[in-house]
Each structure stands twice: as structure tokens, then as C-alpha cells.
Structure 1
């Protein structure tokens, strides 16, 4: 096992990712296209799941997998029609969240490259 710091450590760990996710969900909460994709009355549970997923993805604690198993991102999003407009709105809120974070340009690029790839992967309809 390597003692080298992970990306999670380099960007400031849990608190940094929590801030990014919180800012992202501020945008989602008021988005007329995205908000209906979150059927729970409170966005809190979705925000917590996404936070734990990103924490684990970037090298932090594995709480997400311990609680939910394999991420299966495409399968978990399959019930929702994710078109190019939804992708672009999602990315817009994430861009605002990253712009609000104190990341270096290199860290921002690494995070942005991942979420852009993930958002493109979630598109499941052209309608």
C-alpha cells in the first residue's frame, strides 16, 4: 500500500468535496429539468450518496461501497431520461460548484475531466 497522498488528500479531503457537492445541489434544487429526477422530497439523501461516492472515487474512505455496494452508476440512473439538455444542466451546476472551490487549475481540470466523462456516460436518450 502506498503512502502517497491521494487526490482526495491533495484537494483538502472530505470538507472540500462536501463544499463542492453542497454547491452543486444548490443549483439542482432549483433546476426545472433536473429536480424531477430526484423523487425524494428532500435532496439530502441524494446529496449524501453523491458526496460519499465522490469521496471514495477520489481516494477517501470507502463508506459508499460499504453502504451501497458497487456504484453501478448507469444502472442507478437508467429509470431517468438523461438527454443532452439534462447533461448540460448537470455539468453547468457542477462547473459552478468547482468554480466555488479553492482548487488549483490542475486539480480543477482533473475533477472536471472526470465529471464530464461521467455526465456523458449517463446520457441514455436523445429525446
Structure 2
């Protein structure tokens, strides 16, 4: 069974990504990096990516192709401060869903690696 299925599938991912975006809309540091005219689309894309990554539907790949995360984030100035804020908001969002310690640890490890890979500024 995939982690996607273990944690409750689409409902769980939809819940935590929605909470993340609610926080992001109010964030003064990295919120402005997000497309102000396409919050819903941005939310869908993150949810699709995470669902696919954790063994769910392949919607992200079908809609967007290869993730190319670092390339897609290059236009934005992302330093340690921005990466940490993203992680802080992601942690708060993950608190909104029921996960075992092992499930959260697996997701958190991925989030930390992803945030570190996006850093492109001193």
C-alpha cells in the first residue's frame, strides 16, 4: 500500500494543501511569490505533485510533465529564510491532518529535502 493510500488518499492531501495555501495567502515573505491570480491552480498543482509523489494519481505528470522543481522555482529568490518559512507553513498545515509518527516523518523528510533543493540565493 502506498503512503498516499495509508494516509487517507485525496481527502488528506486536499486538506493539508488547502491549509498550507490558506497560510500562504497571508504570508508576507513568500506569499507574494505565488501567482496572485491563480491561487486555486497553484494549490491544485502542489496537491497533484504530492499525490503523485506518494503513490496516488498521476495527474501532475499528465498535466505538467516532469516536475522540474528546481527549474520552475529559479525565477524566485529563495534563500535559507524563505525555505525555512515554507517549511514552517508546511509544518502547520501537516498539523491539520491525522498522521502516524512514521507517516509524518516520511513526508517531513521529503519536505526538508525539497526546501533545501529550492535554495538559489545566499
User: Which residue of structure 1 aligns with residue 119 of structure 2?
Assistant: 123
1:42 Cα offset (Å)? 3.6
Normalising by structure 2, report the TM-score.
0.97
CA distance in 2, matches of 1:111, 1:19: 15
Normalising by structure 1, report the TM-score.
0.93
User: Which residue of structure 2 aligns with residue 38 of structure 1?
Assistant: 34
CA distance in 2, matches of 1:62, 1:101: 22
Q: Which deviations, in whole Å up to 9, do the C-alpha atoms of 1:49-92 show, x marking residues without a partner?
A: 00000010000010100111000000000000011111111000
Query: What stretches of structure 2 of length at least 5 have no aligned partner?
Result: none
Q: Please, which of 66, 74, 83 is the counterpart of residue 87 of structure 1?
A: 83
Query: What stretches of structure 1 of length at least 5 have no aligned partner?
Result: none
CA distance in 2, matches of 1:98, 1:39: 22
Count of residue correspondences: 122
CA distance in 1, matches of 2:56, 2:11: 11
Give the superposed CA RMSD. 0.8
Q: Please, which of 37, 43, 49 is the counterpart of residue 47 of structure 1?
A: 43
Q: Please, which of 73, 76, 79 is the counterpart of residue 77 of structure 1?
A: 73
Secondary structure, counterpart of 1:93 in structure 2: helix
CA distance in 2, matches of 1:39, 1:114: 24
Instruction: Note the 1:107-118 alignment, pairs <5 A.
Output: 107-118=103-114
Question: What stretches of structure 1 move > 4 A for 4+ residues in a row?
Answer: none
